Amino acid sequence: MIKISPSILSSDYSILGDELKRMQDCGADMLHIDVMDGHFVPNITLGAPIVRCIRKCSTLPFDVHLMISDPYKYVPDFVKAGSDIITFHVEADSDVEKTVELINSLGVKAGLAVKPKTPVEEVYPYLDKLAMVLVMTVEPGFGGQSFMADMMPKVAAVKAEIERRGLDVDIQVDGGINGTTIIEAAKAGANVFVAGNAIFSSDDAAATIAGFKSKADV
């Protein structure tokens, strides 16, 4: 199933509640919320208190991407704040298996992400406990970067491994997704697409989202 997850990193934070409602009205399937701590990545965004506040602004699933050094410590806070999917990085300091198990035990879907320089095989030991694998198609930390096409073999590889095991795991790509790159990512095997600038800066976000879904249906 194709899913479009607009990244609120590209939204107007001064009217964030309205932006979330706009994305829901325009046909988004979920909302991608980037959490950065200024340590794991060189940027700082928002924390669980803000997620809790904006939860009442949308009924869409909250796709929370923890780009933080110690996700295990903060998972309970983000669950209480209203997260539906919590994705963290295999490169983080927390024990991966314990963190995945904690997320699942709290009734939330678990996702695992890899940076561009990390082999996607790093997620294979945990696939049977995951709802989603996120293959970063830019270096995490800032929006507006260019799509890294050389990440597509990683998407294809994890797709093949998921199918080999007969698992039901989404494959998400994040970074530089637009009307052209989404086709390439979909052909490689991705089905969940994070897009920021391409959607939030569009004159017609509904048409952009619909167009993305059509182009990804390959």
CB 68, CB 99: distance < 8 Å: no
Whether residue 204 lies in the annotated active site: no
Phi, psi (degrees; rounded to nearest 5) at 178? -145, -170
Whether residue 174 lies in the annotated active site: yes
Please enumerate in sequence order all residues whose Cβ is within 8 A of that of 39, keeping only pairs 6 or more positions apart, or say none: 68, 69
Q: Which of 34, 70, 168, 170 is catalytic?
A: 34
Rounded CA separation 31/58 (Å)? 9
CB 3, CB 28: distance < 8 Å: no
Rounded CA separation 203/215 (Å)? 19
Q: Which of 18, 95, 174, 203 is catalytic?
A: 174
Rounded CA separation 105/79 (Å)? 11
What does 46-59 look like in DSSP terms, one character per residue? --HHHHHHHGGG--
CB 208, CB 202: distance < 8 Å: yes
Please enumerate in sequence order all residues whose Cβ is within 8 A of that of 109, keeping only pairs 6 or more positions apart, or say none: 84, 85, 86, 103, 131, 132
Q: Which residues are catalytic?
A: 34, 174
